[in-house]
A and B are shown apart, each in its own frame.
Chain A
Amino acid sequence: MKAPRIPMEELMGSGHLACQGCGATQAMRFALKALGPKTALTIPACCWAVIDGSFPHSCIELPIFHTAFETAAVVAAGIKVGLEMRGDSETTVMAWAGDGGTYDIGLQALSGVAERNDDIIYVCYDNEAYMNTGIQRSSSTPVGAWTTTTPVDNYKKEPKKNMIDIMAAHSIPYIATCSVAWPEDVIAKFRKAKEIKGTRYIHIFTPCPTGWKFAPELSIQMARRAVTSHVFPVLEITEHGQKIEVWKDFEPTSVRDYFKPQGRFKHLTDEEIEGLERDVEQKWRRLLAKEKMMASIPGME
């Protein structure tokens, strides 16, 4: 990964209302460093609806429009067009939603925006459950995890939905995943997205100490291990869904080491963990095979 210059300017101030060690808070800080002051945000119901601060305070020095749970993508599209029609075509409009607002309740509106290629950046900060309402499962919650609605005796049996493939199927110009463990990569991807027109989808992996039950100081370690264990691949999809580039330049670590500090996986037996490790590896191989296959299509070399 190339290291870009990280701006000193902070558009997110202290005094926010996040939990200690919140990955979503770091994600916002890095994203805004990349996007700069000509940016407007819309935030649906999610942790960030609270993190921003309560009226009349806000920890962000940008216009933010708080909106209903399922509407982030389309409200952003409305804002973009509304700004354009009153003569401001410069401002970048970003929808900033959690995994519940993206994978579940907001999927329809997001699909509409992506299909129309509306000119916005859509960010899913993924903490893998409804954390703001108190840790309920979403369709982003990984298989094997405990949440308050997937108790230990009946932990989540269904795999995490493949949001990236869903977005790629919309043929949008830019899709990227990144992890808060690599701020330089997060910043580089937001900078790249800013220069592209149309719907840009950025998926940031943001560990949640409160919901995943690990110590707050381990947040970055979790964000790193998720990637190095192949649980959360860091990638870019360009050429309207036709070109995949998966980041592989790291020392692989085990899924077990990623699970270990997290209380949400504590109930899993050795055998179950081995099974999940095999699943992760198989998905990783499929992804690499797809990357290779896509690159081999005539015209894509």
Chain B
Amino acid sequence: MKKVIMGNHAVSYGVRASEVKVISAYPITPQTHVVELLSEMCANGEIDAKFIKVESEHSAMAACVGASAAGSRAFTATSAQGLLLMHEMLHWAVGARLPIVLANINRAVGPPWSIWTDQNDSLSQRDVGWLQIYCESNQETQDTVPQAFKIAEELQMPVMLVMDAFFLSHTYEIVDMIEKEQVREFLPPYKPDIKIDTADQHSFGNLAGPDHYMELRYMIQKAMDRGLDVIKRVDSEFEEMFGRGYGLIEPYRCDDAETILVTSGTVASTTRVVIDELRDEGVRVGSLKIRVFRPFPIEDVFEVLSKAKKVAVIDRNISFGAHGIFYQEIKSALYGRTDIPIIGYIAGLGGRDITPKVIREIADKAIGDEQPERYINWIGVKI
């Protein structure tokens, strides 16, 4: 069945289809619709889950940690300050190897207050050990929820689903709805071997000396390494069942492209429009959407980009004192294997629109600039 729904509700319906058992959340714009609909679903029995309405995002993640450790499938959603407040417990979920799924609606961080989109909230959580998947459409968002749980539960690692505030969260699109009866085949109920259980007592997370700690961290990295294959496999299983797959990355008209624009989130769709325009003009250009950011698909990215003559990365984020964060990742993925120029562009911070015109400007600059010297180019700054 197809319905016209907003991006936030695509998350809620994905959660419903995934038969989540415990939800815990705290209100924050622009995420709030996700959990509003979920509390309605909990109240009217559409979903057999308990909703813990906590007093902060820190507690939202802590409640998910407890519920997941007890062996139940747990979910939360947040944005910006909320995600930052969760930071400590994001680490806890990773160290405790809990397959929690979190939907983060990308919102710019204050001050000054901003409710509009950019990626600095989720990207500032880059190193905590959560898998991160950036979604582009409402359909992809809904479909990514059960995928995320399947990936998380196989790897015993938490997964963050990320989407743009307003450009996606509040935008209505046609979504082919997935239902739990169908999804159950794809995502069986969560039954972990090790959990809080009085019949099988363990002390979880107690003091580990230097003799043990490093091995536990090594195992987390090994799970991340395995993650790329697991994400690919889960995605193709989903595609087999539902006819839709998304991959780790999505190249668009890259085969003979001399210049490739690297994007993520909703910017990817706008960029494809610009690519078509440029192609019509005879310019050999393509784009590459990064869907999975952690673990970073180095080999897949390299395979696509290494055939180009120039790479331009559009970052809706900034690592102050360095560069755009996707830019750094791309540079690191290509380092030592090719000397293609990689140019970084910062655009759309705090929800400033990245229109086809803006992308065209970036493409023109990237294509025209024969010997780029700068790694960071600000687009549209009025100072």
Contact = CB atoms under 8 A, between A and B. Distances in A.
Nearest to A84: B50
Contacts of A56: 212
A215 interface: no
Interface residues of B, number: 43
Given A54-B207, A65-B66, A109 B59 contact: yes
A81 B198 contact: no
B55 A111 contact: yes
Contacts, number: 166
Contact of A63 (B88, B92, B198): B198
B63 interface: yes
A54 B209 CA distance: 7
B72 A85 contact: yes
**Which range holds the interface residue count of chain A?**
35 or more
B52 A63 contact: no
B21 interface: yes
A66 B52 CA distance: 20
Contact of B208 (A55, A58, A88): A55
Contacts of B67: 78-79, 81-82, 85
A115 B55 CA distance: 10
B314 interface: no
A212 B79 CA distance: 45
Contacts of A37: 198
Contacts of B55: 108-109, 111-112, 115
A79 B66 contact: yes
A60 interface: yes
B371 interface: no
Nearest to B213: A55
A210 interface: no
A136 interface: no
Nearest to A92: B198
A54 B201 CA distance: 15
B324 interface: no
Interface string A65-98: 1111011001111111111111010010000000
Contact of A85 (B22, B59, B209): B22
B69 A82 contact: yes
A58 B206 contact: yes
Interface string B210-222: 0010000000000
A95 B72 CA distance: 19
Contacts of B89: 68, 71
Contacts of B50: 81, 84-85
Contact of B92 (A54, A68, A80): A68
B74 A66 contact: no
Nearest to B197: A63
B66 A78 contact: yes
Which has the most chain B C-beta neighbours within 10 Å: A37, A55, A76?
A55
A109 B62 contact: yes
A121 B68 CA distance: 19
A68 B62 contact: yes
Interface stretch (A45-53, A257-265, A285-293): A45-53
A256 B242 CA distance: 77
A78 B65 contact: yes
B206 A81 contact: no
Interface string A94-122: 00000000000000110110011010000
16 contacts: A40-B196, A53-B203, A54-B206, A54-B209, A57-B203, A58-B203, A62-B201, A63-B201, A66-B204, A67-B65, A67-B92, A68-B92, A78-B63, A79-B196, A82-B67, A111-B55
Interface of A: 37-40, 42, 49-50, 52-58, 60-68, 70-71, 74-86, 88, 91, 108-109, 111-112, 115-116, 118
